[in-house]
Amino acid sequence: MSPPAERQSKWIPGRYPAPGTSSTGDAIRQRRGERGITALDAALLHVPAAAEGWNILLGAVRTKGMLSGDVRELIVSV
């Protein structure tokens, strides 16, 4: 099952594992909610350990910190 064309990267073919087939993919879906796996996530899923680390890091920065929203997004964008 591939995502709509607007959700795919122009440069890196993504990996969009079906629900229940990848614990990392499922964790990303849980964190992202309705957005599901993004093109960046799909590119990172070529190296599951990197995708898992990225998901944990960004999840912690966005939901477990006490920084203001603009500072959090600045950290994520760096």
User: Higher model confidence: residue 55 or residue 65?
Assistant: 55
d(CA 50, CA 67): 25
Q: What is the pLDDT of residues 2-59, one digit of tens each?
A: 565 556 666 666 789 999 999 999 999 999 999 899 888 999 999 999 999 999 988 8
pLDDT of residue 48: 92
d(CA 26, CA 24): 5
d(CA 54, CA 44): 8
pLDDT of residue 24: 95
pLDDT of residue 13: 67
pLDDT of residue 29: 94
pLDDT of residue 69: 87
Confidence grade of residue 1 (pLDDT, cut at 50, 70, 90)? low
